[in-house]
Structure 1
Amino acid sequence: MKRRVLIGSAAVAAFAGAARAQESFPTRPLSMVVAFPPGGQADVVGRPVAAALERIWRVAVPIVNRGGAAGAIGNASVARATPDGYTLLMALSSMALLPEAARVNGREPTYTPDMLAPIALFSADPTVLVVPSASPIRTIEQFIADAKARPGQVSYSSAGNYSALHVPMAQLSQAAGLDMLHVPFQGGGPALTALLAGQVNCLASGPGPIAPHVRSGALRPIATWGRTRLAGFEEVPTLIEKGFPDCEFYIWVGLFAPAATPAPVIARIRDASRLVSADPEFRRAMEASGNTIDHRDGEAFQRFYGEDAARLVRVVRALGKIE
């Protein structure tokens, strides 16, 4: 009986300690790593999320842009960070495919997806194919015809090899039998700048970063990678409806922590993420940037993340080694 009482007391103490950890977190500033330079999709979503968390927690949540290697450097820095909840990652969908890309190219991955714990999804939009408004290309049919007529000459920018801006263009190239020139940059922001500066012919981007330039008339959207037409881009056809059923790709943005982060702390961050999704200022910022809020957490995010990761790994294996 005495032993059972001691065990029971230990369990109660452990539960109380976990509860205190959840209730007290955070007690100091956090860092939210974005594995790309400013201006890309993860940055566009991450900044209003961080601002909302600051309002909720009353502590600073600065964005740390840690670009390089298509996001692998920043992703790995969080995967290997102290698992206390004070270093978070605002990740893109490419997070799941980069370790497989390393293996395909004969390298040891700098991190693996199981080193990061998914907390909450904030947005998941299909990529949009855009060209400069000065381009004579106005439809996807014209785009494909032009690329076939000029093999190796139609160029597109991306956030790096195997990035979330590269893979959808590789999908289209494979599906339509195109030979296009891939010009990788260190992030979505620089890739977009290159298009606006006339250095490349096109770009596949999440809707958020390109929306202001579409509204201003600087860029023209001609196709999307969604299963259905994208809100705000209803006049733009999907590649699926144009006869390319395998061209489906979503740039999602989600919050992750190191996998060994205590469950009560993860729960605390997850609870705050729900408040973020309902925060009026966050919702206004997302609308202004052209991003659709798609909040999921717990099992719903786990399931979405697992299914998408499996699809992306298949794409990387088909893409193969990049010299």
Structure 2
Amino acid sequence: MTRTSTCIYHFSVLSWYIFLNFYISQKGEDQQKSKIFPNDRQWKYLTFLNLFLQAIFYGVACLEDVLKRTEGKKDIKFVTAFRDLLFTTLAFPISAFVFLSFWIIFLYDRELVYPKAIDDIFPGWLNHAMHTAILPFSLVEIILRPHCYPLKTKGLTLFAAVSLAYISRVLWIYSETGTWVYPVFAKLSPVGLAAFFLLSYILGVSIYLLGEKLNHWKWGQFISLLPTEIPLHYALLLLETGESSPKEKAVMFDSFVQSRQRLGEVGTFSKDPIKLPPFLFQTMPRLTIQLKTFLLRELRIQRAVQYPSKKKWTQGLP
């Protein structure tokens, strides 16, 4: 997608989630809805918290899209980093968890999670909007652009903290009201409840790791090219847009080569001006044409800087 298309997509999804949050919050004078959400406690449900979380994420994504067009790339590193952290550790894992856990329990016995009486209050399309459409939107986001995953320790710690906070809230609501958030909890013994929470956390961690694998499957060839000396998000923007100055690209490529040389993965460049360094094909056999062109240009710049007298080395390069 182009930048404009990406921006339009993010704005459309943001508008959708804003609409859902607004629609659900408008209980009006419906007494049936008030029974389900006493004292405005719809926020006890993970489904509604997830809808609010998705609205926040796509709001940040829209903000980054706009800043990309108005500010320098260096000036939005924090926004990009926050967008990636929000998506990788919360937005994707929670949306996928809500999708899987809801439909597994629903198909087993819907009364345990979404009683049939709710159909008289919420239309069928809203059920799918809350519990089905959330996953495709997250998968599209993975395919749409690369996301930088944090270190596993950091990412899983944040996910564990959020999970613990929600479980604590569920237990607190039960201690205050004597009513479980979901009917399924009332069917479980204390040991069964602990096992349920543990299995739910394991499922969430598995989803987190799956998201990381999907991100690497789609964007690994780009991420693996990034140098360690340049901030990862800035380097991603350089590779993604290709609109930085030749000097910036040359510095990036030189930094990448030096980091690989220190790891013993790179020998000397081939003197053939048409060929790329062999290690690129050994580590990334599926380089795209665009990426090959990018690297060839950087190689030309690098050689022109180091060997200005040997113009033949740069002949024939893009």
TM-score between both structures, scaled by the size of structure 1: 0.24
In terms of fraction of residues, the more strand-rich structure is 1
- Highest relative contact order (Cα 8 Å, sep 6+), 1 or 2? 1
> Which structure: greater helix fraction?
2
Max radius of gyration: which structure? 2
* Superposition TM-score, scaled by structure 2 size: 0.24
